[in-house]
Structure 1
C-alpha cells in the first residue's frame, strides 16, 4: 500500500470507490487498494480482467504482500479473467464451462454467473475471522469489448454494491478506463460515478510527459461534497503526492 495516498482518502466504510483514468495508467491505485485490504486482514475477491495473477503478485510483493500466501490461506479469492476467458473459448467439456464465472460471454446473457461467484467468495464461512469483505474489479470496462452491454455491467455493479456494501457491510473498488472517443466507456464511467461514494480520477498532464510529475489525481468525496487535486510521481515502491505546481520540476 501507499501510506501517503491512504492518508488522503476518506476513512468511511461500506462504500463504492470508483477509479477512472484518462491519458494515463491508474492501475497503481488498484495495487494500493489490493495491498491495503490484505494487510488490514480483509477478505478480498479480486476480479482481474486486465492482467494475469503473476503480474499482480509481482507488484504486491514489492508492496510487502504475498498474493500466493493470501490465496492459499483463503483470504484472497482471485478470478483470473484472461485465463477463464481462454478456457471458455477452447473448452469442450460442458461441466467445465458450467463452472466458469464468465460463461455468460457465450450466451450473451446477464452477468448472474459472475455475481454468484463474487457472492459465494465473500459470504462468510464457518471459522473465518476476516475483518470484512471487499470486492475489487480491474478493469470492468473490458467487458464491453467482449460483447457485454453497458446496461448489463451497470446492473452487475448495482447488485454487487447492494450485496457487498449493504448486506455484507464491506467495500467495493472498481476501475474503468475513460476514452472520449468511445461512447460506451464514457457512458459507463459517467453512470458509475452516480453510484459511487468516492471517486479517484487519474489523468495525464495537459502539458505532456514530465519525468518529475507523472499525472494528476482528483479525489472526490461525494458524501462530504468536496474535492481535492494532487499531482503525483510514481516510484519503485511508493507514490509521492503534492499540490499542483509544487514539484521539483518547477522549483
Structure 2
C-alpha cells in the first residue's frame, strides 16, 4: 500500500522529480517533535525505512544512527516488521549504529565529551562521503541533554557543529525531541533553538477535538522554504493512524492544510 508513504513524502518534499524514484533531498535538518500522548517514533521508523529502501540508490546511501533512547535490537525488531532488516543493512555498511545508551559526560569536561562524540560522527561521515548520501539520525536529543548533566548550551553547540555537516558534506540530519518536557520555564528556549536550525519540523500531537476511535493523532509538517530571498514556512496538517502493535505507519488520513 503506497498511499501512506506518498502522503508523508509529499508533505516533506522528499522527491527528486522522478515519479518512480523518490529520495530525500540532501543537506536538510528534520526535527521530529512529539509528546507523551502521541509518540513520534513511528515517523522516525518510517524515515529510516525510506532512507534504506532499495528504491533509494543502494550503492550511495547510508544511515548513521546515533542512538540514545533504545538499543539496536529495539530498532531492528520494529523495522523488520516494516520489511527492513537493520542487521543486514549494518552488515553491508549501509547502516552505521552508534550505541550511546551509556554515554555520560563528566561534570568537569562536558564540552570535551561532546567534541569527542562529534569527532566520531565527523570521521564516519568523512570516511563514507565519497559519492554517498548520508543521513544522520539522533534519537533522541533530549537524552543527550541528560547525558551532559543538563548542559543545554553545550548540546546546542554540538548541534551547530553537526549542522555544518549539512553544508560541508550534504548530510541530512534527523533529530527527535520530546517537546512536552520543555513546556514550561526557561527550558523552552531549547526546542525553539532546534526549530530555528531545522528546515523541516514534524510535530505529532493529540487531536484538537479529542479522542477518536480510528485516528491516533495529528501530524503537522512545517516545511521551510525560501521566497524572494526571505525564509517562509508552509505547513501541512494530516490526521494519522498507525499500527500500535508494530509501531509502524499504517496509513495517513489527509486533513486540513494551511
Under a length normalisation based on structure 2, what TM-score does the superposition of the two structures give? 0.79
Q: Confirm or deny: 8 A CA contact 1:18 1:198 kept in the other structure.
A: yes
Q: Deviations over 1:139-173 (max 9, x none)?
A: 1011223314111111111111112x111112000
CA, structure 1 residues 32+184, in 2 after alignment: closer, same or farther (shift >3 Å)? farther
The residue aligned with 1:169 is 170
Aligned 1:1-251 pairs, distance under 5 A: 3-4=5-6, 5-11=8-14, 12-22=25-35, 23-39=37-53, 40=56, 41=58, 42-82=61-101, 85=102, 102=103, 104-105=105-106, 107-110=108-111, 111-125=114-128, 131-146=132-147, 147-163=149-165, 165-179=166-180, 180-183=182-185, 186-223=188-225, 225-235=233-243, 236=246, 237-244=248-255
Cα deviation for residue 207 of structure 1 reads: 4.0
CA, structure 1 residues 240+209, in 2 after alignment: closer, same or farther (shift >3 Å)?
same
Q: Which residue is 2:22 aligned to? A: none
Q: Is residue 43–residue 249 contact of structure 2 (8 Å, CA) maintained in 1?
A: no
Moved more, 106-115 or 41-50: 106-115
SS for the counterpart of 2:157 is helix
Q: How far apart are residue 183 of structure 1 and its match?
A: 3.7
Q: CA deviation at 1:113?
A: 1.2
Give the deviation of 1:55 after TM superposition: 0.8
1:70 to partner: Cα distance = 1.3
Q: Give the unaligned 5+ runs of structure 2.
A: 15-24, 227-232
Gap regions ≥5 residues in structure 1: 86-101, 246-251
Report deviation, 1:129: 6.6
1:105 and 1:28, CA in 2 relative to 1: closer, same or farther beyond 3 A? farther
Instruction: Check 1:37–1:203 CA distance in 2 against 1; reply closer, same or farther (3 A cut).
Output: same
The DSSP-based 3-state class of the residue aligned with 1:210 is: coil
* Whole-angstrom CA distance in 2 between matches of 1:239 and 1:32: 10
Alignment partners' CA distance in 2, 1:25 and 1:105: 30
Tell me, what secondary structure is at the counterpart of 1:44? strand
Root-mean-square deviation (Å): 2.3
Cα 1:106–1:78 change in 2 (3 A) is farther
Which sits farther off after the overlay, 73-82 or 183-192? 183-192
Counterpart of 2:144 in 1: which secondary structure? helix
Aligned residues: 224
- TM-score of the superposed pair, with normalisation by structure 1: 0.81
